[in-house]
Structure formats: C-alpha cells, structure tokens
Chain A
Amino acid sequence: MKVIFEYSREGKKGFHIEEEKGRDLLPEDLIRDEVEVLPEVSEREVVSHYLRLSVLNYSVDWGFYPLGSCTMKYNPKVNELVASLFTEAHPLLPEEMVQGYLRIFKDLEEALKEITGLHTFTLAPAAGAHGEFTGIITVKNYLEARGERREVVLIPDSAHGTNPATATLSGFRAVEIPSDEKGMIDLEKFKAALNDKVAALMLTNPNTLGIFEENIKEISRLLHGVGAFLYMDGANMNALLGQVKVADLGVDVIHLNLHKTFSTPHGGGGPGSGPVGVVEKLAPYLPGPRLVEKEGKLRWTGGLGRIRSFYGNFLVMVKALAYIKELGGKGLEEVSRIAVLNSRYLRKKLEGKFKVSYPTETLHEFVLSDETFRDKITTLDLAKRLLDYGFHPPTIYFPLIVHGALMIEPTETESRETLDAFAGAMEKILEEAEREPEVVKTAPHKTPVGRLDEVGAARRPILTWMQYLQEQDQS
C-alpha cells in the first residue's frame, strides 16, 4: 500500500500556481519553512494514486452492504447532480442573495415535519451523534429555564454507544436499563429507575434488534408523569416511513439521519446530517440559528446557543430533499414496506441454520447470535469469509446484549436475487466451518490485503508518515 509521499520527487508539480508579484508584510520570524512532508507529484501520478486507492474500497455502488442500523441503501445519482448546483454561496452572504438556498432548508424542514408529525426542526447537526447532543441539550435548556436540576438520562442496554456518550457530553449521567426477554426495554425496571431526577429516556425505535418498542406510548406517559422527556434515536427510521407518525408515539425529540433513511452517501464515514425535531414546548429551546419566513422572504434568527458554525451540512440536505421530492409520500411509505419485507424475507431464509437473537417479530433489521457456529468459528471469522464471497459483512458484535451478534439490515434497495445469494453464502460458510474451518478462520483470501494486525497497530500507533519515517530511522 503506497502512500502519496512515496511518489514525491523534487521538481514535479500537480497544479500550477502563478507566482504573485508584490510585497510581503509578515515579519521574518513569523514565516515558516516549507512544509517538508508535502510531496512534489505530477497530476498524472496523483490521479493514478487515488484511482488505485479507490478500487481497494468496497462500496454500496459495488455491492450488498447489510450493516445493521447503518441503512446502507443505494445513493441516487441525480442527487449528486442537484447538489452540484449549490456549491458556490459563501455562508455569510446577505440572506436576500441566497433565497434559493434558504428555500431548500425550509422545504426540508417542512418535509421532515410532515414525515414525523413533530412541530419544529433544526437541520444544523452534522451527524446523528451531533443531533443527539443537540436534542439532549435542548431538553437541558428547557429544564434550566425552569430552574430544574435533573441529572440522569436513561438508556436501554441495546442502545448505540453514541447515546450514553451523548448523555455524558451533555452533562448528564447515563443510567442503563436492561432489555426484557422479548428484546424490548424492561418496563418494570424502567419504572423502578424513573424519578424526578430523570431528564429523558433515549430510545431507539425500532431498537437495534429491529424490534418495535410496543410499550412506547406507555413509556412516554410515564416519563411525562415525572416531568421527563422521550428522546427517540431515529437511526432506524427506515422501518417507519409512512407507517406511523413519530409524534403519535409520544416522542418529544427525535434526530434523523439523512445519510441513512434519506439516501445520502456515507462517504466512508461522513459527512452525515442529523436533523432534530421537537414538540412545540421544546421549540424555543433549540440552538440557533433558526430559519424564519416573513412575507415570503427567509432569514436567519437567534436560537439558544449554537452547536456548530454556520447552518449545517448543506449539500447533504440538498441530496436528501431531492430524494424526498422524487419519492413523495407514497414512495417513502413504499421504502419502509420493502425494507421490512426484504429484512423479514432474509431472516426467514437464515432462520433454519442460524439462531435469531430474540423470537419477537422484527421490522427492517434483525440480529443473529453465534449460537449455531461458535464451537467452530467466531463471528469475526464468518464476517471475514463473507468478504471472499463478495459481500460486505453485517454489523458484528453489536448490540452488546447478543453473544457474537450479526446485525443485518438489507434495506429496500436490494433485489431478491441478492438476498438469496447472501443467504446462500452464509449457509455455505457454515458448511465450510464444519468441513474445512481453517479456510474460514484465515479469511479473507480474496481481498487486496489479508487480515490486518489490529493489536499491533494499537500497541505501537503509527498515525502519520513522519512517525513512520522516524521509526524507520530508529530501526
């Protein structure tokens, strides 16, 4: 794996900058030397380096990517075209010059309100976890304004790690609530933990097991009874579009992930966008800036504090709005129908040979445990072997409450043929584990690199090319 620095030779250049005549006004002692590690490489070599790197990546456009709770659906191409129309505005331009941009914010806010039934949205958060922070501090702002000191945020043990991390970041203490034998939040234990020190419950629904929290309405009622709020992590919204209005579930705050449910590309880990919706009584406590419309003209106004510079990951919003506009309400409803149909179909196909973690009916995703193969291979082995069959593995070892978990979310954008082929590969690997387990244990065999030494990487971290060169010098 070559890095760009290894192509560098003095005198090459990848971009021409005309030398600017004129005087400098920086004192000598403030000027640095040239940045030594920056390479000198021709455009031709830069292009082939990154092209060669790119083909080492697996991607949604390449194939099936059934990562649970990540919603790796197809990313429509026209959305990229549409976004390319909106790259040029400086964020500090006078609002009257960017009404087209502001209209996109407004249209998307309205669409998300319609989809969820919630009262107000902010589009500023840069990702899901950033949305969680925004939502939880909105609750905190509300409580502080009323002089209430509440310390605790309740979080089920099946929750994504960002939920407890968000509670801490927002200055709360995370208290974990166990799941019951159905894979839902344990209602009795929840009741026992509930008191007037609780600010909110953060509930993912459907949860990370793909199970709809059937007591959600009751949970909301109980929370409201002690003056606490129901926060819904909307990571799994792809199961619910057009099926329920989130507001009807008694949800006070939600974050959505435009890069999951609304089809924008994940970019190898970002950029995302995590809009936050709230009920009316929380709306005044959202961070700013807030968009207001007066006589057809849009402009920005206050809000309570700020969670990032400017207004959000705008280009991600453009793509999500294009997706929503193209599909419309009925199309979005169909998304969830097929997402659930595909997931249930795949579950059914795998159920014979694999153990599904909880018998409860699931929606858009489901979780297998390692019960039927753990004496021969590990979940990691199975995941790595899937790579040899041309599939990206599911999310593994999460949720933590399932032993050797494989969390599978096929999404609506996969064909039945793909689902059948994936199920076939899973079964084939089980057979291999029986007959020739070494092949599975040493997988992958057909990828650009073999299994990588992660322990070594963490023991002696080499995080930059300079560090690598220093190590070379020393040895």
Chain B
Amino acid sequence: MSRYIPITPRDREEMLKALGLESEEELFRSIPPDLRGKGDIDIHPINSEAELREYFLSLSRDNTFQDKRIFLGGGAYHHYIPYAVDYLSSRSEFLTPYTPYQPEVSQGTLTATFEFQTYMAALTGLEVANASMYEGATATAEAALMALRIKRGNIAVASSLHPQYRQVLKTYLEKQGVDIVEVPFGEDGKTRLEHLRRFDNLSAFIVGYPNFFGVVEDLDAIQGVLKEKGALLVTSTWEALSLALIKPPGAFGAAIAAGEAQSLGLPLAYGGPYVGFFATLKKYVWKMPGRLAGMTRDSQGRRGFVLTLSAREQHIRRQRATSNICSNEAWCAIRVAIYLSLLGKKGLRNLALLNHRRAVFALDLLRQAGFKPSFSSPFFNEFAVDLGRDAEEFRRSLLSKGFVAGYPLGRDYPNLKNHLLLAFTEMTSREDIKALVKEMEALK
C-alpha cells in the first residue's frame, strides 16, 4: 500500500463488508463487463524516496547549460528571486488549498490575490486587474477577445509582437472566425503608423510594449491613430519589470494591458508555470475574463475578501461566459505579490534601472567593438544587434565558447536573419558582458 493512502488492509475488509461486497472488483460493477478490468498499467514503481530522488537527479545531470553564460530573453527573463519568496510561497497553506470558494477559510489567498491585482493595476497604470491568467500569450489572446466584446471589428496586431503570442492569438481568434491583420515595423523597429492608418473597421490594435526587438513603441503616436478610428489600444508586456521604469500603457490610454509577470518572482523553469496578468478600465470590468478578488465586510463588519463578479465566469454563465478559464495561476500570483512587497517602491525602481543600465553598458561595448544595434529606438533591457552575417551560425560558434548569445531573430523574421536578440539583467554581470563582447569581436 502506498504511503499516501492511510487505509489499512483491515479497513479495506471491514469497509467492503459494510458495503455488503465480497471483493474490491465489485466496487466497479457499474462499469460494463466488456470494458472493465482491462486497464492494467505497465509502469514499474520506484519504491524508495531515495531512488526517486536519484532518478530525477540523474535526469538533471543530462542538462548542460549550467556552466554557460546566457543572454536569452524573448519572453522569459533570468532575475534573482529573494529567498523569502520561496520560503513563504512553499508553505502548505499557500500551496495546497483549492480555489477560495469558501472565503471564511481562504483569507490568506484572497488577500494576497487582492494585493496582486493592486500591483498589476499600478504597474500597468490601469484601474483594475484580475487574479491572473495562464501566462502572457493566452492573456494577450483573451485581451483580443475582450476587445471584441467591447467593440466589434477586426483585430490588428503588430508584427513585432512576440511571435509565439501572435501564433496563440491566431489560434484563439481564427476559431471564432475573426480576421487578424498584421502591421509591419519600420527601420526603427517600431510599428509603421502609415500601415496602421490603412485599416478600417478595427476593434483593437495589439502591440508589444516593449516589443519583440526590445523596442519601446511610441504608444502616444499609436493611440493618436487609434483614436481617430475609434479602435482600442491593447498592449502586451512580457518583461513586466520594464513597467517599473517606462511609462505604463494606462498613461497612453490603453484599454487593456495584458502580459507575463514571470520576471517578478518566478523561476525560468523551462517555460512554466508562469503567470499572465490582465488589467483594464473599471468601466469594462464586466467584460473581463478570469477571477476577481474584491474587498467586502463580514457579518461583524470586519474587512475581508471574496471572489466577486463571478456571473462573468463559466461556472455560472456556462456557454455565455467571458472565458472558459477556471484554474488560473493563483499560487504564482501570490509569489509575485510577495516579490513586489519585498522589492518595494525603491527596490523595484533600482532593479529596473540596473537592468536598463546593464543593457546600455553592453550596447556601448558592442558599439566600441564595431557592432551596431539593429534599431536605434529606445529599449529597456533587451535589444537586437545586426551582425552583418548569419546569426544562427554566429551563435553556434559562441556556443562552443560557453555563451548562449541570445536568440536569432531570423527564426521568426526571415529578413532579420543577421540579427541577434540579446537580453541583460542583474544576473548577467559586467564581467560576463565583457567576455561576451570580446568573443563576439573575435568572431567578427
């Protein structure tokens, strides 16, 4: 009997007897006989905890990235996580409850969720935010679907939006029969406004902020065009730390700011679990997807929190719900709340500045070495470099020197096959950056 099952052989006998059954097989007699008893699973057990640990340890030894110097971003960023985040979030009380449908015994999760919503609304410069989405790409797709509920029409998307996010958007919208038009970027890496102007009958324009090349788009100019058309501005941010330094989408009149908050307290973990965020204006709150925690009072007038406005959701509204989302990333959102509480107002600002300055440091060194940035526009902690030769091949040569030198943009943009996307954070030291540039220069 497994150590996770606290039923003794004697219990089994007595419980069966109480049910008037002869054998455990009879428990399953409601399954038709031709289907029953054919489910044998051929998987060998690993009986001891020590062996189980060893099995996974040996798998972890099959990875070879640990001693490499890595300059990857593109939707996931290596930031330091204060140990208190792991320590607190690994408490059983945060890790093992269900969705807080019984608020009287869920105030811990609900309060932290309310804090998360507050943080996301503040970072995006919008009025309300939900309790989380799966991750950045689905949050962005849900933002498009919500925009369509506010205003019918076509969805335009910047071709500089994260390529995976664009794919997800396409999958979600195509199935609903909605057309997507792509708006190209210009030589400065920003959305070409004259192209955006061409589209009529727009519901919304979705743009990365910063975009996939790390470029901080000119939201003011974009919003100018969209206002004329009566279309909504929707932003998507996958380096959430940037919002501690650059003007938030809300300041430019964005209707929805969606994105990925992995940067704020979640490990890279090969892509998940991460945590999507979703913020909008108060007037659109009934059109939002996902759960919302709201403040209220208990029977004695004390402050408390509950899940609210749930008549938008699938368990009440079924096929007319704003989304099918049920489980979200609640625990990840709690980690983000703890992370941001620790970093605080000054810490987060300093960290964002540090990230930006380290990227500027790298850019300056690269320039000195004779490399030029692909675009001359402002960036946060990530930018692209024009190598003047095939970036895949160039990166391969650097791999053998122990560097994972970013992401070759040609994988998603054939006309940028000579360009490499590089990200810099507090985890890429100045020494690492110097070493990288030296190797790059040698390869030139």
Contact = CB atoms under 8 A, between A and B. Distances in A.
A217 B292 CA distance: 41
B351 interface: yes
A13 B347 CA distance: 7
A203 B19 CA distance: 29
A446 to B, nearest CB: 9
Given A40-B346, A449-B104, A308 B325 contact: no
Nearest to B132: A270
A463 B34 CA distance: 54
A327 B45 contact: yes
Contact of A96 (B28, B64, B273, B345): B64
Contacts of A61: 92-93, 95-96
A54 B341 contact: no
A464 B118 contact: yes
Interface string B4-15: 111100011001
A111 interface: yes
Interface string A446-475: 011111111011100111111110000000
Contacts of A342: 7, 15
A398 B114 contact: no
Q: Which of B5, B40, B176 has the most CB of A within 10 A?
A: B5
Interface stretch (B51-59, B180-188, B196-204, B436-444): B51-59
A133 to B, nearest CB: 6
Contacts of A147: none
B268 interface: yes
A51 interface: yes
A272 interface: yes
Given A270-B327, A305-B167, A314-B272, A18 B318 contact: no
A270 B328 contact: yes
Contacts of B361: 22
Given A39-B341, A88-B268, A450 B15 contact: no
A467 to B, nearest CB: 7
Interface string B119-147: 10111010111011011111000000100
A421 interface: no
Interface stretch (A185-193, A242-250, A277-285, A426-434): A242-250
Interface string B74-106: 111010001010011011111111111011111
B295 interface: yes
Contacts of B44: 328-329
B27 A337 contact: yes
A361 B30 contact: yes
Interface stretch (B152-160, B221-229, B244-252): B244-252
A246 to B, nearest CB: 9
B63 interface: yes
Nearest to B271: A310
Interface residues of B, number: 199
B72 A92 contact: yes
Contacts of B29: 361
B22 to A, nearest CB: 13
Interface string B32-60: 10111111111111110100110111011
Q: Is the interface of A mostly helix, strand, loop or mixed?
A: loop
Contacts of A301: none
Interface in A57-77: 57-62, 65, 67, 70, 72-76
B66 interface: yes
B324 A169 contact: yes
Interface string B303-317: 111101101011111
A341 interface: yes
B301 to A, nearest CB: 9
B95 A466 contact: no
A15 B176 CA distance: 46
A43 B49 CA distance: 35
A372 interface: no
Nearest to A17: B350
Contact of A89 (B24, B63, B332): B63
Contacts of B272: 126, 271, 310-316
B260 to A, nearest CB: 7
Contact of B90 (A80, A312, A384): A80
Contacts of B349: 34-35
Contacts of A263: 4
Interface string B375-405: 0001110000000000000000001000010
A62 B92 contact: yes
Contacts of B415: none
A171 interface: yes
A145 interface: no
A226 interface: no
Interface in A89-137: 89-94, 96-101, 103-104, 111, 114-115, 126-130, 132-133, 137
Interface in A311-365: 311-316, 318, 322, 324-335, 337-338, 340-342, 344-345, 348, 360-363
A31 to B, nearest CB: 6
A216 B31 CA distance: 10
A404 interface: no
A249 B285 CA distance: 43
A452 B96 contact: no
A4 B129 CA distance: 17
A1 B304 contact: yes
Contact of A53 (B55, B107, B351): B107
B49 A78 contact: yes
Contact of B15 (A27, A55, A174, A341): A341
Contacts of B245: 26, 31-32
B109 interface: yes
B46 to A, nearest CB: 5
B71 to A, nearest CB: 10
Contacts of B127: 464, 466-467
A128 B328 CA distance: 10
Nearest to B57: A85
A46 B186 CA distance: 46
Contact of A270 (B39, B323, B330, B363): B330
A99 B63 contact: yes
> Which 8 A-B pairs give the minimum distances between C-beta atoms?
A328-B45, A267-B331, A310-B271, A329-B41, A269-B330, A100-B62, A91-B271, A271-B273
Given A90-B268, A310-B75, A451-B104, 11 more contacts: A29-B247, A41-B341, A56-B107, A127-B134, A164-B319, A326-B46, A335-B2, A345-B15, A415-B7, A464-B122, A466-B121
29 contacts: A22-B357, A31-B245, A37-B122, A61-B95, A80-B95, A90-B76, A92-B74, A93-B72, A104-B59, A115-B41, A128-B327, A168-B319, A171-B177, A173-B319, A267-B95, A267-B332, A271-B330, A307-B171, A309-B168, A314-B272, A314-B273, A327-B45, A345-B19, A387-B104, A450-B302, A461-B292, A463-B128, A463-B292, A465-B114
